Each structure stands twice: as structure tokens, then as C-alpha cells.
Amino acid sequence: MSGEARDALAAALGRAPLRLAPMSGGCIAEVYRAEFADGTRAAVKWSAEGGLECEAFMLRYLRRHGGLPVPDVLHGDGRLLVLEYIEHDGGLARAGEREAGRLVAALHAVRGPRFGFERDTVIGPLPQPNPGAGRWLPFFRDHRLLHMADQAHRAGRLPAKLRGRIDALAARLDDLVQEPAHPALLHGDLWPGNVLAAADPAAKSDVGRADRRAPGRRGRVAAFIDPAIYWGHPEMDLAFAGLFAGLGEDFLAGYAEVAPIAPGFREVRRDLYNLWPLLVHVRLFGGFYVGRVERIVARFGC
């Protein structure tokens, strides 16, 4: 961490860390575990380019409105984000996946006024447009599927021919997409790396209080991180959750304990909605993800 970042961290918290250890997950920022003289810790993100204010906003919004366990935001501005450090270890156990499903179903019960959001948000390092819309289908078509296909094509990572095939698929969405009962609050970037599994309750939290998680929580949900929130169709989160060696049938079973999963999701719409995160990855990385997009488009006859 640069001297400028260290100074900003000390000024924000009123104390300087004893140690800073790099952490994984730095897609849009440098990420560190900060350790302080009293034994407490914090997770710190620093970006000299800015852009972290939106993540702070989204975490605070989820804490106030969504009911998901997320880290407390201790400080958030454009370049510096300081979060409660969540002790975590390994992946979710089966019971943890079911718990995650129930928590996400409760999140989706939060109703919004329209599809979109009160402001644009971000997914990873990319802007995520959220203009208000009264219906889901045009919002998904224009501001998710076609928007990201355009971005990937302009970046030189999505071939023009495949871009045209996505237009053809978009023209068929009326036959494939269902309108949800209401605009639901979505996490928006719900892959397993953004669901932290609880570790043994041994350490102190970042605010100096003992971690009071009950024994036996290991492998259960500790927190959800890195959201990309908006009001949308719950099936967007459900699809993304299973995309990258993801949250599987236990997650869906837990979800179904709280909210129904409509017929046709597993068979049809899961692949369709996963075009969005796959196109995000095409925009960022190209390569392997282009083939995955092409296979889904071909599956729908386009």
C-alpha cells in the first residue's frame, strides 16, 4: 500500500494499522487486511482511480433494506473503502448453501417501485445502467443483454457476427421471459466468491467487540460481499449463483423453502439470464467466455 493510501486510512479511522496484508479479490482496487494495536482488524480497499463510493452505498443499502448479512461500512469515499473484517474460511457446507438460499429469497421479498434503481451502480469495474422501467422484459433486453453485448463488441472482445445473433435472440425474448410478480431487490453479483463462509469464532471484529457467532457456524454464511444491486427479476440472482461451479441444488432448495421457483427456470431461463454475467466476463476478459455465450445463443436457435 502506498504512503498516500496509508495516510488516508489513518485519517479516516483516527489510527494507523500495525500491519497490512494483501488479500485476494482486487478486481477494481487493492485489497488489504489491516491489523491494529488492540487486535482488531478491518478489510481495506484502495483505488487511486476512485470508484469505491458506489460499493459503500450498495453495502449500506443492503444493510438498511435487504436483510442480508453484509460487512459494516466503517468508511467509504471514492478512493478508500474500509469494512468490518469478516472472519471466513473455505466454502459453504450444504447447510450453508441452504441458508444462503433462504437469505436470498428473503432479500427478493423486498419490493421496489420500478425495475432499475434510483442511481446507476456497478458490477465489478463496469458501470451498470439502471434507468427506471415499468416492465422487466425491456429492462433486461436493453439495459442488461444488449447493453453489455454492445460494450463487449466495442472493446473488440465480442465478434460482430455473434453480436448480431444476440440481437436475434433479443427479438425472441417475449416468448422466453416471464414478468416477475414485482421488482425485487437483487444482490446482482451472486457467485460463490461473494458469499463468505463462517470460520471458527475466535477473533475479534474490526470494532473491538468479541465475535459472538455461535459455535458450529463453520461452513455457514458469514456475509455477502461485492454487490451490484438493482430492482430486477429474482431469477437473475438464481441463475448467476449457479454459473461458476456455483451454488447448486442445496442453494435452490433453501430458496424454495421461502419462495417458489417458477417452472422453466432450470430448463430454459437459467441459461438465458446467465448471458448477462457471461457478457460481463467477455467484456473484461474475452477468450473462453465468448464460446460460452455462443453455445447459449445457439441453444435458443440464434
pLDDT digits (tens, 9 = 90+) for 27-73: 678 999 999 999 999 999 999 888 899 999 999 999 999 889 999 99
Alpha-carbon gap, residue 302 to 299, rounded angstroms? 7
Residue 210 has what pLDDT? 36
Q: What is the pLDDT of residues 139-168, one digit of tens each?
A: 999 999 999 999 999 999 999 999 999 999
The answer to whether 58 and 121 are in contact (CB under 8 A) is yes
Residue 66 has what pLDDT? 80
Superfamily of 1-84 according to CATH: Phosphorylase Kinase; domain 1 (3.30.200.20)
Residue 165 has what pLDDT? 98
Residue 216 has what pLDDT? 56
Under DSSP, the state recorded for 178 is: P
Planar angle of CA 106, 273, 249, nearest 5 degrees:
55
The answer to whether 36 and 191 are in contact (CB under 8 A) is no
Domain 90-302 sits in CATH at 3.90.1200.10
Residue 195 has what pLDDT? 94
Domain definitions of the chain by residue range: 1-84, 90-302
Residue 1 has what pLDDT? 83
Residue 264 has what pLDDT? 95
Residue 205 has what pLDDT? 45
Average pLDDT taken over every residue of the chain:
91
Q: Which residues of the chain have pLDDT under 70?
A: 25-27, 200-217
Beta-carbon contacts of 92 under 8 Å, excluding residues fewer than 6 positions away, are 99, 100, 192, 195, 197, 219, 220, 221, 247
Residue 56 is placed in which grid cell? 459503500
